[in-house]
Structure 1
Amino acid sequence: MHTGLTVGEFSRVTHLSIKTLRHYHEVGLLAPADVDRGTGHRYYSLEQVPTAQVILRLRDLDMPVADVKAVLAAPDVSTRNELISAHLARLEDRLVQAQSAVESLRELLARPDDALSVEYRTVREQPAIGIREVVDRRDVVSWWQGALGELHGFVTAQRLRRTGPIGGLFASELYQDERGEAMVFVPVDADAHLVGRIDSLLVPGAELAIAVHRGSLNSIDLTFGDLGVYAARHEIGVDGPLREYYLRSPLDGSDEDDLVTEVGWPIFRSNG
């Protein structure tokens, strides 16, 4: 004779469906206390109810099964809390990303159709120091933040004088193939004692269509999109890296809403 709760009774007590309990048994997350060898019926003990309730809450927080197993197997409270805290931190990061995406979508829906103002500019070759690497598209923002801060610290430490705004060049392959060359540069008026990944560069000249992006860089793709459409509509776009100039950047202590970035699209201009 079996004691404890049948799978149906345990399901009602814990609010875990029979299908879910079967799955948790198969993956080794919550095994029945006893299984009848003749009938295959599963029975759960009353002591398993709190465990099932913990599992329910962790899974409601989208914790992967493997991580739930680690929490249940934690040797002490401290280790268990560390695992849960790490997952909560990941959820908070996802929430921030979701909020950013919502704000970006609202901004997109609220944008006027005639918001773009474009100027043409000839940019000459320019000596600079910078950081240039091939990066994955998904990593470009974190790479950019690190490179920007590194260059700013280097220029400040060596007391170099900037001869123009900090800028960035981003190869077409970065967007087309999700991996390509990115460069962040600072024009300076003197030779520097180079260290680490900072190098001397000659920023190439170009003919550019320029538009100004104001506010968070999370939505800078909208300005580039408008600029690309403008170049295509006027049949002046050419291949080449996209360019940014950070007129008011996070390094200036500006809030995101106060950032000012010039974005440049390579174009063809006749001399006529």
Structure 2
Amino acid sequence: MRHALMVGDFSKATHLSVKTLRHYHQVGLLRPAEVDPGTGYRYYTPDQIPTAQVIRRLRDLDMPITDVKAVLATPDARTRGALIAAHLDRLESELARTRSAVDSLRDLLRRPAAAPVEHRTIPACPAIGITAEVDRADLPAWWQGARGELHAAVQAQDLDPTGPGGGLYAGGIFQDDRGPATVFVPVAGHVRPIGRVEALVVPAAELAVTTHHGPLADADLAYGELGAYTARHEIGVAGPLREYYLRDARDTPDASRWVTEIGWPVFRADADDAADNDNSDADTATDTDADVGHGTGA
């Protein structure tokens, strides 16, 4: 074969190792132009160098071999461009998730002093809400959609909000990765059930409450503080965890300015005495080893 390159020279010309070229041959991504049946030596042509260069760049971008094959096998330039663009979009999404995780870790390492924990007696209140069994992985998307649907119903039915919207999250969401969740808006007025939206009464509760500032993805820090606090004082009881969204995406797109109150159900022997004791005792939760999670940011 004229102008043939042995595998070593082809490796130097393309910056693909001999081992990599052997692998690409085995998986059918880049076959040699000829293989000597007696010696097994592989030979490539100069015309294969541009193909090898494209393969190297696509693989440097972590494109799976099956997708690289699809790009090389597609004669239409527009289709090839669409395949490459789709992979680049996936890389951008992964990069955004990585950046978010890095920022979250940095915030954890330089976290401010823990927010104070206070006890509250929450009375029952009528509300408009949406309840569903939700997988933990689907919770952020479900939460966002349900919240939007609720506020649209409040406006359409001319209801008067009587407090900030909130959410109730059963322990099974964190323990078993699936469980019942409710988002609600306390309202005055007659609620007309429609679709997923229904009238409900948010139950009364005794809660240990702390305030989380920032995106909900980092609210596990506040949950950890509450879990440690209730464990130290041996006051935690069964019941859904509770969130109140004092400032969220409806108020500002800047997630660093969001404010969420988080409540953990507790037992209080005497609510009045407990309130007095809490006001005089500036005990704050600083441990984060409790096995807890977060309803909307998990």
How many matched pairs?
Answer: 271
Distance 1:48 1:195 in 2: 63
Distance 2:26 2:132 in 1: 46
Range that drifts further, 148-157 or 7-16: 148-157
Matched, 1:223 2:218: no
Structure 2 partner of 1:44? 44
Instruction: Look up the equivalent residue of 1:246 and give its one-letter code.
Output: Y
Over the matched positions of the two proteins, sequence identity in percent amounts to: 61
CA contact (8 A) 1:34 1:42 kept: yes
Structure 1 partner of 2:174? 175
Range that drifts further, 73-82 or 196-205: 196-205
Where 1:25 maps in the other structure, the secondary structure is helix
Where 1:251 maps in the other structure, the secondary structure is coil
Distance 1:33 1:173 in 2: 59
What's the C-alpha RMSD, in Å, of the aligned pairs? 1.7
Matched, 1:87 2:87: yes
Instruction: Look up the equivalent residue of 1:65 and give its one-letter code.
Output: I
Instruction: Look up the equivalent residue of 1:74 and give its one-letter code.
Output: T
Distance 1:74 1:202 in 2: 59
* Displacement after TM superposition at 1:195 (Å): 2.4
- Relative contact order: is structure 1 or structure 2 higher (C-alpha 8 Å, sep ≥ 6)? 2
Unaligned runs of 5+ in 2: 274-298
Distance 1:81 1:46 in 2: 25
Distance 1:121 1:30 in 2: 68
Structure 1 partner of 2:69? 69
Instruction: Look up the equivalent residue of 1:195 and give its one-letter code.
Output: I
Instruction: Look up the equivalent residue of 1:210 and give its one-letter code.
Output: V
Aligned pair in 2 of structure 1 residues 196, 75: CA closer, same or farther (>3 Å)? farther
TM-score by length of 2: 0.85
Range that drifts further, 221-230 or 170-179: 170-179
Instruction: Look up the equivalent residue of 1:61 and give its one-letter code.
Output: L
Aligned pair in 2 of structure 1 residues 2, 240: CA closer, same or farther (>3 Å)? farther
* Displacement after TM superposition at 1:3 (Å): 5.1
Distance 1:127 1:172 in 2: 23
Structure 2 partner of 1:128? 127
* Displacement after TM superposition at 1:166 (Å): 0.7
Range that drifts further, 186-195 or 52-61: 186-195
TM-score by length of 1: 0.93
Alignment of 1:104-253 (within 5 A): 104-112=104-112, 114-253=113-252
* Displacement after TM superposition at 1:14 (Å): 0.9
CA contact (8 A) 1:149 1:251 kept: no
Unaligned runs of 5+ in 1: none
Distance 2:7 2:246 in 1: 65
Aligned pair in 2 of structure 1 residues 18, 259: CA closer, same or farther (>3 Å)? same
